[in-house]
Amino acid sequence: MGKCSVLDKYDILLTCEHATNAVPPDLRPLFPKHILKTHRGFDIGALTLAKKLSRRFKKRLYRATASRLVIDLNRSIHNRRSLFSRYLNPLDSRRKKRILEQLYLPYRKAVEDEIRKKTRRKKPVLHLSVHSFTPVLNGRPRKTDIGLLFDPKRKGERVLCLRWKEILRRKAPQLCVRFNDPYRGTADGFTTSLRRRLPASAYLGIELEINQKFPLGSDERWLKLQQQLIDSLHGLVQG
């Protein structure tokens, strides 16, 4: 029996919850400009990679239009500690509710509607949520280059990430690829939320985490990594 590509087995959905550091004009006075330019304001490099994946696989990209410091699309609505950043503390509850209704709920609904539409077809959905992380946190360097975040209890996600890591090992042996690092795949996030409502047979949620040392480093190294990730994803097969 011949092999089929990941595109034959799964219907890919791409999202980027921390795509931008943009802030609505009326909220800009609340934010120090230097903070918005750092990893706290957005996932540096994530949108660039997500756009390339979108073009390569001819899939629509769902992306944030405002900084995670305005509202974090990758946190649950009940996460009071990090849904809204401390910079919004001066706002009253009505203004925060409008932000929720204008930015958070439409994004979540659009993605969930697309997933449910896809799950009515024969293929399960492979949701790739593209992120990046700062190379140094609280003075401690992070050794991980690529993080694949998933729920270890979901066999489909576990097997897919094992296969993806092996392909990356062959294509780019110098990369340090780790599972559920620098964050747990079952921590509060969009994929975790979706798993609660969708069966493992219909939905696989993977967060792809890129060390920001690549987009912040040389153009050549960053371009090379993007191509390696695209090639490795395309090379995923099911015998």
pLDDT in tens, 172-220: 999 999 999 999 999 999 999 999 999 999 999 999 999 999 999 999 9
Query: Does the pLDDT of residue 238 top 60, yes or no?
Result: no
pLDDT band at 146 (very low <50, low <70, confident <90, very high): very high
Laid out side by side, the sheet with 203-211 consists of 61-63, 11-16, 125-133, 203-211, 146-149, 177-179
**pLDDT score for 235:** 84
Average of pLDDT values for 14-21? 98
Q: What's the distance, CA 204 to chain centroid?
A: 13
Beta bridge partners of 127: 13, 205
**pLDDT score for 239:** 41
Query: Does the pLDDT of residue 152 top 70, yes or no?
Result: yes
Tell me the domain boundaries of the chain. Answer: 4-238
* Span 62-109, pLDDT tens digits: 999 999 999 999 999 999 899 999 999 999 999 999 999 999 999 999
Superfamily assignment of 4-238 in CATH?
Zn-dependent exopeptidases (3.40.630.40)
**pLDDT score for 121:** 82
